[in-house]
């Protein structure tokens, strides 16, 4: 299926585009939708936005997830209202459930944000997963995750074989050495605790 059939810059418009193509016959029942990352790159939107669009299609019975086989289309639902005709919001309200907020409404964050890549070997992560009895992901699935992993090129890499305290210390040191990064040194205990809780 050609991803050029699908248009939109928000979850609602992407889902509506898929529905129109389905009704027009450009897309057919059982057609496979593009992978989330691929469609996001094609439309130049966040993968979160595409995932939200696919959830809209799922909720309306227009698509069904098939695990590793991806997301496939179904016949149009006779119950759910079309995406483009959902209830209008009252004046002054902003719908944040169908995608990301408008970037123009956010303050500039590029100079303040830093991506931290917690990096570990396959053997280390497998051994940790193997010890967890209530983890949703089976250790056997880890190999495919490593094969699909695209390591970020603009992130601060930190070795996760260290203790949590050492990982936190490394993150703070790396951030302090990065130009334009706000310093976390001397921050409140709650601020430092929030950083630890993400590990």
Walk me through the domains of the chain, giving residue ranges and CATH numbers: 3-85 (1.10.10.10), 116-197 (no CATH)
| 3-class SS of residue 141 | helix
Q: Compute and round to an integer the Cα radius of gyration of the chain.
A: 21
pLDDT digits (tens, 9 = 90+) for 18-39: 988 888 888 888 888 998 889 9
And the tokens for 102? Answer: 């408008």
Is residue 63 pLDDT above 70, yes or no?
A: yes
What's residue 167's pLDDT?
92
What's residue 195's pLDDT?
43
- CA 29, CA 35: separation in Å to the nearest integer? 17
pLDDT digits (tens, 9 = 90+) for 107-151: 777 777 788 889 999 999 888 888 877 666 776 778 888 888 888
pTM of the model: 0.44
CA 85 to chain centre: 26
CA atoms within 13 A on the CB side of 48: 7
- For residue 73, the surrounding DSSP H or E stretch is strand 71-73
């Amino acid at each position: 299926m050609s991803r050029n059939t699908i248009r939109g810059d928000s979850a609602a418009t992407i889902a509506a585009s898929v529905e129109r193509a389905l009704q027009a016959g450009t897309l057919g029942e059982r057609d496979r939708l593009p992978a989330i990352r691929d469609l996001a790159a094609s439309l130049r939107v966040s993968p979160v936005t595409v995932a939200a669009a696919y959830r809209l299609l799922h909720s309306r019975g227009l698509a069904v997830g098939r695990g590793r086989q991806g997301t496939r289309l179904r016949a149009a639902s006779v119950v759910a209202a079309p995406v483009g005709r959902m209830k209008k919001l009252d004046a002054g309200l902003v719908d944040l459930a169908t995608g990301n907020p408008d970037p123009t409404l956010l303050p500039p964050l590029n100079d303040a944000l830093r991506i931290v890549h917690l990096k570990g070997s396959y053997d280390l992560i497998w051994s940790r997963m193997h010890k967890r009895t209530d983890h949703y992901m089976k250790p056997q699935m880890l190999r495919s995750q490593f094969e699909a992993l695209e390591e970020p090129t603009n992130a601060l890499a930190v070795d996760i074989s260290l203790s949590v305290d050492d990982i936190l210390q490394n993150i703070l040191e790396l951030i302090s050495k990065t130009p334009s990064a706000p310093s976390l040194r001397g921050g409140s205990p709650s601020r430092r605790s929030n950083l630890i809780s993400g590990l």
